[in-house]
Amino acid sequence: MERSYGRGAGDLRPVTFEPGIAPHAAGSVLVSFGNTRVVCAATIDEAVPRWMQVQKVSGGWLTAEYSMLPYSTLDRKARDISRGKLDGRTTEIQRLIGRALRAVVDLEKLGARTLWVDCDVLQADGGTRTAAITGACVAVELACRKLIAEGKIKESALRERVAAVSVGVVDGEVLTDLDYSEDKDATVDMNLVMTQSGEFVEVQGSGEEATFGEEALFEMLRSGRAGIERLLALQEEALSLPGPR
């Protein structure tokens, strides 16, 4: 089948990182997976949540928030605040982002402070949660560098990087990094989150009115791992370049 950008089944869409997109944040980046564009920004609160204080839990905390801006989709998406509550999808995704980042952040090294990570989708064309996780990791690393520069921590609280990608089965073929047109037709949809050391943080997969066998599962895992390795290399490249942070 013909894919966007003329790519093969296992190829990513064009991926870019633009660090320093939000100058008032401790670390920020505009990440693009093709036409999916997400602003990821990390800010520091010099306090921990009340539950940590009450339970006398040492170290710091990291939490994430995710939103799709009203103009990110073809039809205007109402803001959650206008409905008075978060929808289930938003809650699920921001919890996923938080889990993915806490898996690679040493909260003791962070110190008694909260690292807030905000992921705002400017444009959605499939894979917003995977782009958000991949970009958020860059924002967190930049925030840790800022804390070190300010003498607030001695070494980075980020133990290793993390990235995420979607994989799925469309017309019987395993594809990596699905855009919206592919995602809506996928009979199997999966999101993989992996660390730099090759460990899984989360595997979210399900058949869409279909089932899938062990062979397809292993092929999706192999293809997803290769895609994440490429994303990690692109993170490294973006974080090594000079420029605004």
Rounded Cα distance between 37 and 28, Å, is: 13
Query: Which pLDDT does position 193 carry in this prediction?
Result: 98
How confident is residue 156, by pLDDT bands cut at 50, 70 and 90? very high
pLDDT top residue among 104 and 78: 104
pLDDT at 73: 80
Looking at residue 83, what is its pLDDT? Answer: 67
pLDDT for the residue 69: 85
Nearest Cα neighbor of 164 from 183, 191, 124 is: 191
CA atoms of 217 and 167, how far apart (whole Å): 10
CB neighbour list of residue 207: distance below 8 Å, 6 or more residues apart: 187, 188
pTM: 0.93
Angular region, 186: left φ>0, alpha ψ -120 to 50, beta rest: beta
- Each domain of the chain, given as residue ranges in start order, spans 4-240
In the chain, what's the furthest Cα-to-Cα distance? 56
| Tokens found for residue 230 | 């490429």
Q: Give the pLDDT score at 84.
A: 64
- What integer is the mean pLDDT of 176-192? 95
Look up residue 86 and give its two tokens.
């978060």
Rounded average pLDDT over 27-31? 97
Q: CA angle, 95 as apex, 105 and 78 as ends, to 5°? A: 135
CA distance 72 to 36: 9
Give the per-residue pLDDT at 71: 79
Average pLDDT along the chain: 93
Q: What percent of the chain has pLDDT over 70?
A: 96
Task: Say what the pLDDT of residue 104 is.
Answer: 98
Residue 50 CB: number of other CB atoms within 10 A? 8
Q: Could you tell me which of 107, 95, 96 has the C-alpha nearest to residue 193? A: 96
Stated length of the chain: 245
Give how far Cα 131 sits from Cα of 48, 59, 102, 143, 148, Å.
27, 28, 17, 18, 26
Domain 4-240 fold is: Ribosomal Protein S5; domain 2 (3.30.230)
> Among residues 167, 162, 165, 163, which one has the least CA distance to residue 206?
167
Give every CB contact of residue 220 below 8 A, 6+ residues apart in sequence. Answer: 167, 168, 169, 174, 188, 190, 192, 205
